[in-house]
Amino acid sequence: MPLGSVVFAFAVGALIVGATGANPFSAYAGLLCGGLGIGCTQGENPALEISNTIVFAIPLITTGVAVALPFRAGLFNIGAEGQLLAGSIACTAIGIKFNTLPAPILLPMVLLGGMAAGALWAGIPGVLKATVGAHEVVTTIMLNYVAQWLIRYLIIGGPLQAPGGFSASSPIGPGARLATLLPHDNSLIIFGLPSSVYRVHTGIFIALVAAGVFAFLLWRTTLGYEIRAVGQSQRAARYAGVSVRRTIIVTMLIAGAFSGLAGAIQIAGVDHGLTDKYFSDTTGFDAIAVALLGLGSAVGIVLASVLFGALHAGGAVMQSDAGISSSLVGVLQALILFSIAANFLSAIWRRLPGTRSAPHAPPPATPAAGLMTEAAAAPTESPSSA
Amino acid sequence: MAHKHFRFLGVVAAAMVLTIACGGTSGGGTPTKTYKIGLVTDIGGLNDKSFNHLADLGLEKAKTDFKIQGDVKESKSGDDYIPNLTDFATKKYDLVIGVGFLMQEAVGTVSGQFPDIHFAIIDGAGTDAKSNDLKHPNVQSLYFKEQDAGAMVGTMAGWLEKNNKAKKNKHIIGAVGGISIPPVDHYIAGYKWAAKIEDPSIQVKIGYSNNFTDPAKCKGVAKSQIDAGADIVFQVAGGCGLGVLQQAGQSGVYSIGVDADQKDADPSVIASALKKVDVATYTAIKNVVNNQFQGGALTFSIANEGAGYAIDNLDVPAELKAELDKVLGQIKSGALTPPADIPA
């Protein structure tokens, strides 16, 4: 199903490119080169392209997890972006305030601080949902705006603005920064380029660990069982003795911590301070598509993050090599999400001759409902193999 | 579950092989020396009707005049500045142009990594994280004497007030800046200085919105100036400043646009102070083609046609036109020098 969505998106994308009079093959060749460093013809450096893709994928993994976990509990966390921003604010504030501390102390402080801030940001909708039943879609979306405007205030005339008048904070202390995998050295040549151009940082390991923690939590712990139970049926879960309210709040707190960690990693690993780019950051929204495309599983989320990271990194190469606007990437992402949400591919599949007749097929589940059940992880759309 | 992922991988891999196989048609040989120019926009994108658009016009003009290959990368977010600049640099482009001061730090970083590649940046320099100019010899800063353009629209505002041709004629005009940074204050300095020369009794109200993007913020600042009697307001606040133009229209007074010709933004716009980013971009490319690239600052002013003004939604009386031509000539010849700092 998700693979079908990707193929569908690329096929429709090719039609769109073709309709504008350009060559879809050169467009996708540019994307492939810029995203994965494969088949580059114009002097691009494959190692650099892969490095860029990983840098873009890192925050998507952690925020993807932050969307997928509440999905399992039947909650729609549309607020991963706001939680990410809260984490980036906390990381920056701590990293500036204690900028003289050494890395072994300061780095855990900024990362944990980011997680705490993200948890707080997601905890508000969690508590509101559990106590007064306020719908988390509305509250998490609204808190995204609050976080965006809070950053605006903080770095434009607010307490985090760097002296000098630009809309950016001061840089965080050296001890608060995640190291790059290769030394940050302009004179050391690796793969034909100065090693400082490869920006992949140790945040990749943190993100992969976060994905592992997510899988372990969900499938190997009591809490994970409770989360899945609440997601499948709150009534049944309550009958089985699970506190639905507590589970909702705890789920949101953990999800927020994952998002906050993404924000902290971005600051500590890439930006080293808040800038105006966070006014228009969309990582937390892309994460929704990543979680859906990854079927809410840890491995799926990592793969989907790499795909979206590659699309992001590849867009610019495609634009300069093939002369096709990098906005095509946005179109492809939207098409992927659209076909998952519409779920029509499996409906078409089911009607194909040779597959089981309609009455025996299971009713088409909505994608979110699918994510909440273990059954969704199995290939439900190929009943012919049964 | 596992086999499903493997299947996913398998088909992705198959799709990749297919695309590579078919993608070999692009690319071609490069006869003799074709200069390669890379332009990286800021997050405004090519259709911003301002800096990025003008830079692209400069590139297009250079394409028709010289033997160059010009490629553009639009930055979708601040995350893209470094990868976009780096990509052109790794491909050994002859000039990589960054549009706008938002890219200062990125240009500073990448120009340090690629000392053999020439960079140019509009309205900025290659800096470190604290906005200190790193003074890399391979970076050319394309700066503007905004005070020249400010002086032209200031002359116009002062003349209208002096001759009672404005809306209220209380000899009060206003300027709304985004943030008090040099390029903004240069505009306001020239504006105030020239308006005072025309009309010594004039009062110039100056306010800052602390914002470059939100029109509502600038609208508020403009409204307070208009309520205090101002009947010509000059916006120096980018996208935020559109609110100044709108407020002037709603209050029935005149407004003045900035950077690009903002004639169409609101009927109240009588003139625009222009920063000719297209001229700057074209000149930077021309220098590279003629082997005359130089690091450091290159400043564009009225004298080298890199700054100026446009008359917009107003029928300008002949006397005013004559006055404007006189002042323009004097600034061009050096007889008049608008100040960079806002006069008292």
Mean pLDDT score across all residues of chain A: 88
Tens of pLDDT, residues B197-240: 999 999 999 999 987 878 899 999 999 999 999 999 999 998 88
Answer yes or no: are the C-beta atoms of B255 and B269 closer than 8 Å.
Answer: yes
Q: How many other C-beta atoms lie within 10 A of the C-beta of residue B37?
A: 27
**Contact residues, chain A, for B25 at CB < 8 Å:** 23, 25-26
CB contact B29 to A (< 8 Å): no
What does the DSSP assignment read for B11-55?
HHHHHHHHHHHHHTTS-----S--EEEEEE--TT-TTSSSHHHHH
Q: B76: pLDDT confidence band, cut at 50, 70 and 90?
A: confident
End-to-end CA distance of chain B: 74
Q: Reading across the β-sheet that carries B172-177, which strands appear in turn?
A: B203-208, B172-177, B232-236, B254-259, B269-275, B307-311
**Contact residues, chain B, for A85 at CB < 8 Å:** none
Q: Determine whether the interchain pair A170/B19 forms a contact, defined as Cβ–Cβ distance below 8 Å.
A: no
Look up the pTM and report it: 0.81
Over residues B64-70, the mean pLDDT reads 94
Q: Can you tell me the distance from the alpha carbon of A126 to that of A259, in angstroms, rounded to the nearest whole number? A: 15
Q: How many other C-beta atoms lie within 10 A of the C-beta of residue B90?
A: 20
**Contact residues, chain B, for A299 at CB < 8 Å:** 5
Q: How far is A246 from chain B (nearest CA, A)?
A: 30
Identify the residue with better confidence: B59 or A158. B59
Tens of pLDDT, residues B131-182: 889 999 999 999 999 999 999 999 999 999 999 999 998 999 999 998 888 8
pLDDT, position A352:
64
Answer yes or no: are the C-beta atoms of B215 and B207 closer than 8 Å.
Answer: no
Cα distances (angstroms) measured from residue A10 to each of A26, A29, A145: 13, 12, 32
**Contact residues, chain A, for B95 at CB < 8 Å:** none
Q: Determine whether the interchain pair B12/A3 forms a contact, defined as Cβ–Cβ distance below 8 Å.
A: yes
Q: A363: pLDDT confidence band, cut at 50, 70 and 90?
A: very low
Tens of pLDDT, residues A197-214: 999 999 999 999 999 999
Identify the residue with better confidence: B286 or A364. B286
Fold classified for A2-342: ABC transporter involved in vitamin B12 uptake, BtuC (1.10.3470)
pLDDT, position B201:
95
Torsion of CA B8, A208, A46, B111, to 10 degrees: 150
**B116-121 long-range Cβ contacts below 8 angstroms, 24+ apart:** B117/B88, B117/B89, B117/B92, B117/B93, B118/B94, B118/B288, B118/B293, B119/B85, B119/B95, B120/B95, B120/B96, B120/B281, B120/B284, B121/B97
Cα distances (angstroms) measured from residue B6 to each of A290, B3, B10, B324: 18, 5, 6, 72
Q: Which two tokens stand for residue B266?
A: 């609101």
Give the sign of the dihedral formed by CA A11, CA A14, CA A20, CA A21: negative
User: Which residues 46-75 in chain B show a CB within 8 A of chain A?
Assistant: 71-75
Domain boundaries, chain B: 35-144+279-300, 146-274+314-333
Beta strands in chain A (DSSP E): 189-190, 193-194
pLDDT, position A340:
84
Q: Determine whether the interchain pair A166/B179 forms a contact, defined as Cβ–Cβ distance below 8 Å.
A: yes
Fold classified for B35-144+279-300: Rossmann fold (3.40.50)
pLDDT, position A339:
85
- Considering only CB atoms, B210 lies closest to which of A157, A194, A312, namely A157
- Considering only CB atoms, B77 lies closest to which of A281, A313, A378, namely A281
Q: Which two tokens stand for residue B277?
A: 């980013």
Q: Can you tell me the distance from the alpha carbon of B273 to that of B270, in angstroms, rounded to the nearest whole number? A: 10
CB contact A282 to B (< 8 Å): yes
DSSP lists the bridge partners of residue B236 as: B177
Over residues A130-134, the mean pLDDT reads 94
Half-sphere CA count of A263, side-chain side, radius 13 A: 43
- Considering only CB atoms, B23 lies closest to which of A29, A157, A278, namely A29
User: Which residues 329-358 in chain A show a CB within 8 A of chain B?
Assistant: 329-330
Q: Determine whether the interchain pair B90/A378 forms a contact, defined as Cβ–Cβ distance below 8 Å.
A: no
pLDDT, position A162:
86
β-strand pairing of B269-275 with B119-122: unpaired
Q: Determine whether the interchain pair B20/A10 forms a contact, defined as Cβ–Cβ distance below 8 Å.
A: no
pLDDT, position B45:
83
Q: How far is B91 from chain A (nearest CA, A)?
A: 5
Per-position b or e across B295-327, b if 16+ CB within 10 A of its CB: beebebbbeeebbbbbbbeeebeeebeebbeeb
Least confident of A135-139, B23-27, B31-35, B325-329: B23-27
Least confident of A160-169, A347-356, B88-97, B143-152: A347-356
- Indicate whether A184 pLDDT > 90: no
CB contact A309 to B (< 8 Å): no
Over residues B110-132, the mean pLDDT reads 92
- Indicate whether B310 pLDDT > 50: yes
Cα distances (angstroms) measured from residue A229 to each of A225, B60, B192: 6, 61, 69
Q: How far is CA B112 from the centre of its chain?
A: 25
Half-sphere CA count of A27, side-chain side, radius 13 A: 22
- Indicate whether B9 pLDDT > 60: no
Q: Do domains B35-144+279-300 and B146-274+314-333 have the same CATH topology?
A: yes
- Indicate whether B250 pLDDT > 60: yes
Mean pLDDT score across all residues of chain B: 89
- Indicate whether B2 pLDDT > 60: no
Q: Can you tell me the distance from the alpha carbon of A34 to that of B84, in angstroms, rounded to the nearest whole number? A: 11
End-to-end CA distance of chain A: 17
pLDDT, position A260:
98
Fold classified for B146-274+314-333: Rossmann fold (3.40.50)
Q: How far is CA A319 from the centre of its chain?
A: 24
User: Which residues 11-70 in chain A show a CB within 8 A of chain B?
Assistant: 23, 25-26, 28-29, 32, 34, 36, 38-39, 41-45, 48, 52, 56
- Indicate whether B7 pLDDT > 70: no
